[in-house]
Amino acid sequence: MRFSVPTNAKGLRRWFDSRPQVVVRAGPCYDETGCVPLDLILDCDPGHDDAVALAVAADRGRLLGVTTVAGNAALEDTTRNALAVVQLLGIDIEVHSGAATPLRGRSANHAAHVHGEHGLAGATLPPLRTTIASNDAPGFLVETTKQHPHAWIIATGPLTNVAQALQRDPTLPERIAGISIMGGGTFGNVTAAAEFNIHFDPEAADIVLRCGTPLVLCGLDVTHQLLVDEVMVARLQALGNEFAHFCADLLGGYLTNIRALTGNARDAALHDPCAVLAITDPHLLDFAARHVVVETAGEHTRGMTVVDQRSWVRGGNVQWAQTIDAPAATEVILDAIAAAP
Ligand SMILES: [Ca+2]
């Protein structure tokens, strides 16, 4: 069956409302019929907020596997970090590493000023008991979505792996439920115009945004509404389980780095869990159909997502997340972390 994306706002709204809705708060999540798992694959670059996103995905859906990409840190670091978080969560899933460089092979500028040199500054990682299942993340995305059609790919890092999977298998968009992305925004963070994940590999983002599968985009406009602060760190510490202590150290380190960068002493955006919650708990967010393209050539705007917000332009290629109920989202995140060992 070929999936066609509705081209008008009404059609996209109907498509979005027809997606599986989560009705179970704890444990494996099922759709409203009560029997279909919400299959998720997380493509990530941990990264403090990726680690939290991974915990939420594992708690709120059926996580089929994790793929890693270079971004916040070098690939060997993001992969080791993903393996460590999976181990701390006590979940039996495979981790596959992927792209070490963007599609065009430009030198990668990581985000050590935000996440530390190795990606998870502030936390102590356990000695690893497992290793990667393969170094072919795009192959894992292709094959796993054949075994589990209608899975959601959630991408919380640069989109290199996902673009390579789309290049390898042009039928991929037809069988997946869609791709939920943390990336972009109507303003930037790595530059004045561009958000980090999209700026890291604009050509990959361009391929993904044109691929024709249902897309959900959580840009900085919405992720800057979901904040971590000292109150949240204290609540994590009070949860008492090992993973919560890990997260308290992790997000404490994140706050320290963000303070040094921005001078903001109070809080920092917790970007990546938004892209998970958009699928597992969509009632927490408000979406609008928007046309979004990636600037790949601009002198000052390379990596910018150009979001058409003109009220008289109908439809779009993405469901653009506009708002999130941050207090409720924080409770879902804390519940997920509390459910870990
Ligand atoms: Ca990330």
Query: Is residue 112 very low, low, confident or very high in pLDDT (cuts 50, 70, 90)?
Result: confident
Kindly state whether residue 64 falls inside one of the protein's structural domains: yes
Residue 134: how many CA atoms within 13 Å on its side-chain side?
8
Q: What is the extent of the structural domain holding 163?
A: 14-338
Taking a C-beta distance cutoff of 8 angstroms, is the pair 251, 236 a contact? yes
Given the residues 110, 113, 271, 291, the one annotated as active site: 271
Kindly state whether residue 293 falls inside one of the protein's structural domains: yes
Kindly state whether residue 70 falls inside one of the protein's structural domains: yes
Going by their DSSP bridges, the two strands 285-294 and 305-308 should be labelled as antiparallel
pLDDT per position as a tens digit, 150-180:
999 999 999 999 999 999 999 999 999 999 9
Query: Is residue 220 very low, low, confident or very high in pLDDT (cuts 50, 70, 90)?
Result: very high
Taking a C-beta distance cutoff of 8 angstroms, is the pair 339, 237 a contact? no
Based on the structure, what is the number of domains in the chain?
1
- Residue 247: name the closest of 146, 333, 130, 128 by CA: 333
Q: Residue 32's pLDDT is what?
A: 53
Q: Residue 271's pLDDT is what?
A: 98
Taking a C-beta distance cutoff of 8 angstroms, is the pair 192, 113 a contact? no
Residue 125 CB neighbour total at 10 angstroms: 16
Kindly state whether residue 1 falls inside one of the protein's structural domains: no
Separation CA 4–CA 187 (nearest Å): 30
Ligand 1 center from residue 16 Cα (angstroms): 24
Kindly state whether residue 312 falls inside one of the protein's structural domains: yes
Q: Which residues fall within 8 angstroms of residue 128, CB to CB, at 6 or more apart?
A: 80, 83, 84, 87
Query: Is residue 14 very low, low, confident or very high in pLDDT (cuts 50, 70, 90)?
Result: low
Ligand 1 center from residue 196 Cα (angstroms): 9
- Residue 62: name the closest of 158, 173, 157, 177 by CA: 177
* Tokens of residue 46, six digits: 């941990």
pTM for the model? 0.90
pLDDT over 90 (residue 335): yes
- Percent with pLDDT over 70 in the chain: 89
CA distances to 52, 107, 113, 183 from 275, in Å? 11, 27, 23, 9
CA distances to 16, 19, 195, 198 from 191, in Å? 32, 35, 7, 11
* Tokens of residue 181, six digits: 């992305």
Q: For the CA atoms of the chain, what is the radius of gyration?
A: 18
- Residue 121: name the closest of 331, 238, 268, 276 by CA: 268
CA distances to 100, 117, 184 from 112, in Å? 16, 5, 20
Q: Which residues fall within 8 angstroms of residue 291, CB to CB, at 6 or more apart?
A: 307, 308, 313, 315, 316, 317, 318
Average pLDDT (104-112) is 80
CATH number for 156: 3.90.245.10
Ligand 1 center from residue 29 Cα (angstroms): 23
Ligand 1 center from residue 155 Cα (angstroms): 8
pLDDT per position as a tens digit, 262-321:
887 789 999 999 999 999 999 999 999 999 999 999 999 999 999 999 989 988 999 999
Q: Residue 18's pLDDT is what?
A: 52
Amino acid (1-letter code) at residue 288: A
Kindly state whether residue 195 falls inside one of the protein's structural domains: yes
Kindly state whether residue 186 falls inside one of the protein's structural domains: yes
Taking a C-beta distance cutoff of 8 angstroms, is the pair 254, 228 a contact? yes
Q: Residue 227's pLDDT is what?
A: 97
pLDDT over 80 (residue 17): no
Looking at every residue in the chain, the average pLDDT score rounds to 90
pLDDT per position as a tens digit, 235-262:
999 999 999 999 999 999 999 999 888 8
Q: Residue 4's pLDDT is what?
A: 38
pLDDT per position as a tens digit, 47-78:
999 999 999 999 999 999 999 999 999 999 99
Kindly state whether residue 290 falls inside one of the protein's structural domains: yes
Whether 271 is catalytic: yes
pLDDT over 50 (residue 196): yes
Ligand 1 center from residue 2 Cα (angstroms): 31
Ligand 1 center from residue 267 Cα (angstroms): 18
Ligand 1 center from residue 314 Cα (angstroms): 31
Q: Residue 22's pLDDT is what?
A: 37
Torsion-angle region of 150 (φ positive above 0: left; ψ -120 to 50: alpha; else: beta): left
Ligand 1 center from residue 183 Cα (angstroms): 9
pLDDT over 60 (residue 85): yes
Give residue for tokens 């270079």.
70
Ligand 1 center from residue 47 Cα (angstroms): 5
Taking a C-beta distance cutoff of 8 angstroms, is the pair 108, 70 a contact? yes
Q: Residue 107's pLDDT is what?
A: 66
Ligand 1 center from residue 220 Cα (angstroms): 12
- Residue 25: name the closest of 334, 271, 242 by CA: 334
* Tokens of residue 26, six digits: 């704890």
Query: Is residue 111 very low, low, confident or very high in pLDDT (cuts 50, 70, 90)?
Result: confident
